[in-house]
A and B are shown apart, each in its own frame.
Chain A
Amino acid sequence: MPPVNPSCRAIARCVQSGGAVRAFSVVLDCADTMISPDTQREHSAAVAAQEALSMERWSRSRLNADDQAPVAGGGLLDRRLFLKRGLVFSGAGALAWSSGAAGADQAALPSLRVPGRGFSNYGQPSEQEKRAIRWISANRAVPGNGVSWSPLHALEGIITPSGLHFERHHNGVPDIRIDAHRLLIHGMVERALTFSLADLARYPMRSQMLFVECGGNSNSGWNKEPLQSRAGYLHGLASCSEWAGVPLAVVLDEAGIDPAAKWLIAEGADAAAIHISIPLKKAMDDCMLALYQNGERIRPENGYPLRLIVPGWEGILSIKWLQRLEVAAEPVMARNETAKYTELLPSGKSRMFTFVMDAKSVITSPSPGDTLRSHGLYEVRGLAWSGRGRIRRVDVSADAGKTWAPAQLQEPVLPMCFTRFRIPWNWRGETAVLKSRAIDESGYVQPERDKLVAERGRNGYFHYNAIAAWQVDEDGEVTHVYR
């Protein structure tokens, strides 16, 4: 039995009493409209219990921060601070590194005196890292219908470990025999064709680092009150992998596309038989038949043995367990492109085929659930991404958006890929509100929440990408706020 978000039960109860369950939408819709203060408290306690990440490592890394001139309000420092020559840890900081009990006992460490364990065929995370886990929220009656979030707050760099890549399943993870699986391409083509996985493995491959983000990611942001949870459990229906496989255009060309065709219908081999319509132009431009994720075969929960990858567009299009591609003149109007994955506007009209994932950023550290244990220098860290291409800039504010400073973007900065940003911050113990704002190479600027809600209302459910605000109070506790 995998660890399950304890608040699921509370949410399920509240859904029961509310009488309306809408599968995945349910759980978060419920959090939006029906969740009780008790449930909120239970949620917060669950988060604290799931993870109690220590901030001590930060307190050890104290530089002479007070000597640095801030570049924006709230103590934000020049993004190149850590790169500056000659900057050294202060005496107190250095002392903290060397004077701990662990340091004194180093010579007596048992690991120096006892032979270690043997080899393993497949490595696992340290037993001490069991809190870096996906957080599951599933339908009680149908355990395979729900989501699990990536713990973005517990990760560094830009690659999400395959075992921590988010999941959104509509009716469970199928067991598919790789030898028997056949991809069918048919419809408006000169010749219908099937491909085995062995066939596809002989095609020219490429790999690309790409994020995949669920269209429903971050949607508790539509709630009237900010949900208290870890950053990853608010925004972690997004993950980033190196995907490797065959360019989709190669096999579509082999089938011979009718020039009158405009769409591609992609279908999975799961119990929900998910199918979805994709503009043919996108399919020919940059989509991929992925066989590998982060160097190894795709994990079952991410589409083994074959997944369509649609770069930068909402995750529902990147069909897992891909078994059929139909070239068509028009979209099929599947349930998941009409009833779901469309956004109701205040006017009563709805946005449909909202494929592109607009630019988003989130500060992963410090983030809600963390407690800063001492004043001084911290590195504010986060992730930014855009379905329109590269991230051009990320601004960070420590005073709720009154002033901003540009963060350092860590290379590589790749199109439609997570980008890691960092900026030093001198926290002097005052209340601070941390925000990040992504700007992509198209010029798109991540909006403030007020602006997004004014444009879209609160019933859109999907495509929430507003700026997130984390408040650090005088005791160092970090909470999610709307500011």
Chain B
Amino acid sequence: MSIASHALWVACLGLPALAADRIEGPGLGSPVSAQSVAARNTSIYPDGRGLPEGRGSAGDGRLVYQQKCASCHGERGEGGSGGHLVGRGPLTGSDADKAVGNYWPSATTLFAFTRRAMPMDAPGSLSADDTYAVTAFLLYLNGIVGADEALDARSLPAVRMPNRDGFVWIDAVQPEKPR
């Protein structure tokens, strides 16, 4: 819509105040190919969209965890200079403790965060297989998946986190059925 036609439209509605608010730029954005978008798009959604190919189990992940994670998060996810990763306790009570197992609502979030931001001295360096494996190992430590259960782009979104329905949206409209 040109500025002139926009102004006309606004004038017809009798809302001149809006005319100044909705301005148009010089249109300098460069078109970008789908491939380039895909290369930069790192979003991973709870339904699994964005998950890469690959797979790994807790058994595979134990070694990855020991090599890449344990120095900050402890041998069994108990924490160190990095946060603790294991928690099964209730979220009520004065000493309620939030960790992956009892607090995080989506398993895909654990994968996505690990893939993009961990380990902190070399973020983004874990392969897809290693990320699935270490995710499986952490879910295993939290009692959510079995030791031999392999996770991939299909099975990871199907993991039901215990606190999936534990959140109430405050300043956004919450869908009736959690995704």
A contacts, CB < 8 Å to B: 16, 19-23, 25-26, 139-142, 145, 170-171, 184-186, 191-195, 199-200, 202-204, 246-247, 249-251, 253-255, 265, 267, 271-273, 275, 279, 313, 323-324, 326, 328, 330-335, 338-339, 342, 344, 346-356, 457-459
- Interface residue stretch chosen among B105-113, B126-134, B141-149: B105-113
B120 adjacent to A352 (CB under 8 Å): no
A20 adjacent to B104 (CB under 8 Å): no
Q: Output the least CB separation between B119 and chain A (Å).
A: 10
The answer to the question of B43 belonging to the interface, with a C-beta cut-off of 8 Å to chain A, is: yes
B83 adjacent to A20 (CB under 8 Å): yes
Most buried by B among A202, A334, A339: A339
Partner of B84, one of A20, A199, A331: A20
Q: Beyond A141-B82, A333-B106, is A184–B40 a contact (Cβ under 8 Å)?
A: yes
The answer to the question of B171 belonging to the interface, with a C-beta cut-off of 8 Å to chain A, is: yes
Q: Beyond A20-B78, A22-B83, A332-B43, is A255–B29 a contact (Cβ under 8 Å)?
A: yes
Which chain B residues border A19 with CB–CB below 8 Å? 74, 78-80, 84
Partner of B168, one of A16, A255, A352: A352
Complex: how many Å from CA A145 to CA B79? Answer: 16
Which chain A residues border B116 with CB–CB below 8 Å? 272-273, 275
Partner of A344, one of B37, B79, B98, B179: B98
Query: Who on chain B is nearest to A185 by CB?
Result: B29
Q: Beyond A21-B81, A339-B98, is A273–B109 a contact (Cβ under 8 Å)?
A: no
Q: Beyond A250-B23, A344-B98, A350-B167, is A195–B123 a contact (Cβ under 8 Å)?
A: no
Classify chain B's interface size. 35 or more
A332 adjacent to B45 (CB under 8 Å): yes
A203 adjacent to B26 (CB under 8 Å): yes
The answer to the question of B30 belonging to the interface, with a C-beta cut-off of 8 Å to chain A, is: yes
Which chain B residues border A203 with CB–CB below 8 Å? 25-26, 28
Complex: how many Å from CA A330 to CA B79? Answer: 32
Q: Output the least CB separation between B30 and chain A (Å).
A: 5
Beta-carbon contacts of B93-121 to A below 8 Å, as 1s and 0s?
Answer: 01010101001111011101100110011
Which chain B residues border A458 with CB–CB below 8 Å? 94
Partner of B29, one of A25, A249, A251, A339: A251
B contacts, CB < 8 Å to A: 22-32, 34, 37, 40-46, 72, 74, 78-84, 90-92, 94, 96, 98, 100, 103-106, 108-110, 112-113, 116-117, 120-121, 123-124, 166-172, 175, 179
Complex: how many Å from CA A186 to CA B79? Answer: 37
Q: Output the least CB separation between A168 and chain B (Å).
A: 15
Which chain B residues border A246 with CB–CB below 8 Å? 25
Q: Beyond A194-B29, A271-B117, is A139–B81 a contact (Cβ under 8 Å)?
A: yes
Q: Output the least CB separation between A194 and chain B (Å).
A: 5
Which chain B residues border A193 with CB–CB below 8 Å? 29-32
Extra contacts besides A185-B29, A203-B28, A344-B96 (12): CB < 8 Å: A19-B78, A20-B79, A21-B81, A21-B82, A193-B30, A203-B26, A254-B25, A265-B43, A326-B41, A339-B113, A355-B171, A459-B94
Complex: how many Å from CA A247 to CA B24? Answer: 10
Which chain A residues border B123 with CB–CB below 8 Å? 171, 271-273
Instruction: Write 15 A-B pairs (CB below 8 A) sorted by A numbering.
Output: A19-B84, A20-B84, A141-B80, A141-B82, A184-B37, A185-B29, A249-B22, A272-B116, A330-B179, A339-B103, A344-B103, A347-B92, A348-B92, A348-B166, A350-B166
Which chain A residues border B26 with CB–CB below 8 Å? 202-203
Query: Who on chain B is nearest to A281 by CB?
Result: B172
B172 adjacent to A267 (CB under 8 Å): no
In the A-B complex, the 4 residue pairs with the smallest Cβ-Cβ separation, listed nearest first, are A193-B29, A141-B81, A335-B113, A22-B83
Which chain A residues border B100 with CB–CB below 8 Å? 339
Which chain B residues border A21 with CB–CB below 8 Å? 79-84
Complex: how many Å from CA A352 to CA B178? Answer: 13
Which chain A residues border B168 with CB–CB below 8 Å? 349-352
Q: Output the least CB separation between B128 and chain A (Å).
A: 16
